[in-house]
Structure 1
């Protein structure tokens, strides 16, 4: 690519103007929240026992949920992208359904599946295991709403890169698992990282399904979004301070992961060009 092409910026001015308006639409509410923060009481507000419990619970459960999304979502995306079977379009629609469902509907579905009188809940209840209104329920609710983000990102990347390199590896005698580990996953690693980041961010901000399926018990199921919602009614300053903390955590995580994804993508294309 020539230097002239690399530095090309012939974007119509009206596109830039609309982009500025869109950016302002996102940035101005965040700026308004920053202005509203009571900075004199900021540290005491975010370090209260309830706030700290909610923050650590959110981070802990979001990490576990993201791991589950990777564990379950990678095989799902590969099957959807690399195989063809009857009912595939219907299955894809169902897998991506949580993207458009109101979270509270997802919470109700989980409750009637894993609750004490649910489809599977009755069976595990006999074994002395209670899922609903526990920390496990928080993880399941977050995974339910976050999983489609990883599947959608990874399936799109798999379809984009095609199957050329996988076919070459297979003709050279590589087993399917070896092809998956040495060819397929490295090809789509940036998309996998991006999908994991989206899943983590969605899990971190989950509210409706968690409240419906897990309730709001401090230190057990009350995540940071639930704590913000409760504080909004009793202590607006605390709600704004905690909201800013949630925004800061999300921005840091997304920025770091985006940088990691870009770096991995550059390393891959350099290895490919070598």
Structure 2
């Protein structure tokens, strides 16, 4: 299948597709543990600043993506407070690198992930967790043995939706890491670049088809996997 796709797409187009998959995979994988933690905190805990945290989590959905990308550049750029620290102490540079594109995609997809997981956690009867606690189980043990299996369909759905969102991220990515072929040029930025040159419409059209296919496949896979996991959990 890869050979057929590579034959249909040009080298630059295939490079953009491969980079998009790489960026989206790592963006989803790296943000998933934090997404589960934040979703659980918002669903189960009461603490000062809870509404502020909820607002910050969903802020990327409200802000223009370019604004989010600019904020990432200020914070994680080479002159930013966090960016300077990462470069000086760990040799990690995010701005104008594919790793920065993964960070931008993760930030933009994070609200969708958290919302899906939070709704799944809120659907779990707290009495089940309370019953396990009264038997002497610790909170982490209750989460791992009671809550996590029940919310697994929501986690899977949230992760896949976040992956699909990361695949389509454009504004924050191009602002934070620019549009460098082979380094930061994902499918959306490649489409934009092709549309800026004469005769690039055909290549842009092929990438649009690829983007639609991947997005639809992700949505269908999300529904299928969530239902399969739900059946497995119900039957166990």
**TM-score normalised to structure 2 length:** 0.92
2:134 corresponding residue in structure 1: 171
Residue 148 of structure 1 pairs with residue 111 of structure 2: yes
Mapped to 2, the partners of 1:144 and 1:177 lie a distance apart of 26
2:223 corresponding residue in structure 1: 258
Deviation at residue 233 of structure 1 after TM alignment: 2.3
Counterpart selection for 2:27 from 41, 57, 65? 65
1:134 corresponding residue in structure 2: 97
Question: Where does 1:1-274 land on structure 2 (aligned, <5 Å)?
Answer: 46-127=8-89, 128-234=91-197, 235-271=200-236
Mapped to 2, the partners of 1:130 and 1:267 lie a distance apart of 42
**1:145-196 C-alpha deviation (Å, 9 max, x unpaired):** 0111111111122122231111111122222222111111111111111111
Distance 1:46 1:243, change over 3 A: farther
Mapped to 2, the partners of 1:74 and 1:43 lie a distance apart of 35
Mapped to 1, the partners of 2:51 and 2:158 lie a distance apart of 21
Mapped to 2, the partners of 1:44 and 1:124 lie a distance apart of 36
CA contact (8 A) 2:6 2:14 kept: no
CA contact (8 A) 2:179 2:189 kept: yes
**1:95-114 C-alpha deviation (Å, 9 max, x unpaired):** 11111111111100100001
Structure showing greater radius of gyration is 1
- RMSD between aligned residues: 1.7
Provide the aligned length of Structure 1 versus Structure 2.
Answer: 230
Deviation at residue 136 of structure 1 after TM alignment: 1.1
CA contact (8 A) 1:69 1:196 kept: no
- The range that moved more, 174-183 or 51-60, is 174-183
Which structure 1 residue ranges, 5 or more long, are not aligned?
1-41
CA contact (8 A) 1:46 1:52 kept: no
Mapped to 1, the partners of 2:83 and 2:54 lie a distance apart of 26
Which structure 2 residue ranges, 5 or more long, are not aligned?
none
CA contact (8 A) 1:69 1:199 kept: no
Deviation at residue 44 of structure 1 after TM alignment: 7.8
CA contact (8 A) 1:150 1:198 kept: yes
Helix, strand or coil for the counterpart of 2:94?
coil
Helix, strand or coil for the counterpart of 1:105?
helix
Q: Once superposed, which parts of structure 1, at least 4 consecutive aligned residues long, lie more than 4 Å away?
A: 42-46
